[in-house]
Homo-oligomer: A and B are copies of this chain.
Amino acid sequence: MEDKLMLMIPGPTPVPEAALLALAKHPIGHRTNEFSNILADVTANLKWLHQTESDVLMLNVSGTGAVEAGIINFLSPGDRILVGSNGKFGERWAEVGQAYGLNVETITAEWGQPLDPAQFADKLQADTAKEIKAVIVTHSETSTGVLNDLETINRHVKEHGEALIIVDAVTSLGAFNLPVDAWGLDVVASGSQKGYMIPPGLGFVAVSAKAWEAYKTAKLPKYYLDLGKYKKSAAKNTTPFTPPVNLIVALHTTLGMMKEEGLESIFGRHERQKNATRAAIKGLNLPLFAADDCASPAITAVAPPNIEADKIRSLMKKRFDIALAGGQDHLKNKIFRIGHLGFVSDRDILSCIASLEVVLLELGYENFTPGAGVAAAAKVLNG
């Protein structure tokens, strides 16, 4: 059966029909009042979503491009930075720093384990010369389903006083409460194909006043990723370069939907679906890759024993047209990842778990009572 694909991966995530139809509208000129009005609305709603009064800028890039912009606009060659690294994306931001000649120090944890805030505190407290210019943290590590304790790490950054806190919020923004101003986050980067409920193609960067101060003296070269150009244009409800008009029109639609639902409900939904998914996996007696106290609201990684993870994914796709994500790098075929991010309903969680039960049985895994996964999920969802 064609056209029944159900995306349960951490991006691209499902897109509501209203947004798909908005995407299909013929593009309008980007230097028109009509488009400026859309940009003004979108920008206001982005600030609402980020819980900030400061700037939230929109770039025609992927999430990686957004995080890179969030790093290179505020630093100079040789600057010392701390990068938390406990998965594919933490590793990537260290690579970005190295590519630009920054003095990168990583604070690592095993993939599947959370970063230890105390290690950040140690480094930051020892830095009495205030040489550390930025701390980069991946909030929700998409590769492992670990949610790092950004709030505590950020508290240590604030005690340091000098360093900026730069956050990869690609799979946490719009899924988890991330009050940018209340926490004093300096740079928060994210991407459109996640909590925003539209296809990939847009990146977002929130920038604090303190970060703009650092921007003034930052010397890393940039042009297309120069956030100052975006800020200047945004003040006039326009963009420095041709923007992806159709994606922005679709975003206009989904941000409206999000505003109608409300932040509390959105975060509550992600929390509930995360808990339901985790309860189900436990009910199936499968090991969760991340512990309960550091579980991402967007992705649940499962490490099936004695079954190749990719066989499960492949059969889920073939039998039920449900796309699950695999493991990356050394976790290939060791874990599979269930995305429950963005436009995902409670029904989707039940469908996914019920289908997973069938697939496990077909693959000869019988270490569970049929129905136990669904029952455990249902209990949470009804709670």
The residue of chain B having its C-beta at the shortest distance from the C-beta of A222 within the complex is: B99
Which residues 118-171 in A have Cβ within 8 Å of B in the complex?
Answer: none
- Give the docked Cα–Cα distance between A182 and B242 (Å): 31
| Interface presence of A268 (CB below 8 A) | no
Judge whether B64 and A241 touch: CB under 8 Å.
yes
User: How many identical subunits does the complex contain?
Assistant: 2
Q: What 1/0 mask marks residues of chain A from 336 to 349 whose CB sits below 8 Å from any chain B CB?
A: 00000000000000
The reply on A9 being an interface residue by CB < 8 A is: yes
**B residues in contact with A64, CB < 8 Å:** 223-224, 241-242
The number of chain A residues touching the other chain, given as a range, is 35 or more
Report if A90 contacts B (CB, 8 A).
no
Q: Are B193 and A27 in contact (CB under 8 A)?
A: yes
Q: A24 vs B221: C-alpha distance in the bound complex, in angstroms?
A: 37
Question: Interface code A14-25, partner B: CB below 8 Å = 1, 0 otherwise?
Answer: 110000110111
Of B24, B99, B245, the residue contacting A12 (CB under 8 A) is B245
Whether A193 lies near B96 (C-beta < 8 A) is no
A30 at the interface (CB under 8 A from B): yes
Give the distance in Å from the alpha carbon of A95 to the alpha carbon of B99 in the complex. 22
**Stretch from A55-63, A258-266, A286-294, A298-306 contacting the other chain:** A55-63
A100 on the B face (CB < 8 A)? yes
- Known contacts A24-B20, A241-B62: A12-B32 contact under CB 8 Å: no
Set of chain B residues within 8 Å of A26, measured between Cβ atoms: 3, 5, 7, 14-15, 20
Q: Tell whether A191 is near chain B: CB-to-CB under 8 Å.
A: yes
A78 at the interface (CB under 8 A from B): no
Q: Which residues 49-107 of A have a CB within 8 angstroms of B? A: 60-65, 68, 95-96, 99-101
Within 24-40 of A, Cβ neighbours of B (below 8 Å) are at 24-32
Q: Is the CB of A221 within 8 A of B100?
A: yes
Q: Which residues of chain B come closer than 8 Å to A65, judged between CB atoms?
A: 60-61, 224, 241
Residues of chain B lying within 8 A (CB to CB) of residue A63:
241-242
Chain B contacts of A32 at CB under 8 A?
A: 323
Q: How far is the CA of A326 from the CA of B29 in the complex (A)?
A: 12
Q: How far is the CA of A15 from the CA of B224 in the complex (A)?
A: 25
Q: Does the CB pair A242–B12 fall under 8 Å?
A: yes
The answer for the CA separation of A203 and B200 in the assembled complex, in Å, is: 15
Contacts of A256 in B (CB 8 A): none
Does A220 make an interface contact (CB < 8 A)?
Answer: yes
Q: Which residues on the B side are within 8 Å of A193 (C-beta)?
A: 27, 242, 245
- Contact, CB under 8 Å: A29 / B323: yes
A7/B27 in contact, CB under 8 A: yes
19 A-B pairs with CB atoms under 8 Å apart are: A12-B242, A12-B245, A15-B27, A20-B25, A23-B24, A24-B24, A27-B200, A29-B323, A60-B61, A60-B62, A61-B61, A61-B224, A63-B242, A64-B223, A95-B223, A96-B223, A100-B223, A200-B245, A221-B221
5 tightest Cβ-Cβ pairs between the two chains A and B = A24-B24, A201-B244, A12-B27, A65-B224, A62-B241
Q: A68-B224, A200-B242, A201-B246 are in contact. List 5 more A-B contacts (CB 8 A).
A: A9-B29, A31-B325, A60-B201, A62-B243, A201-B244
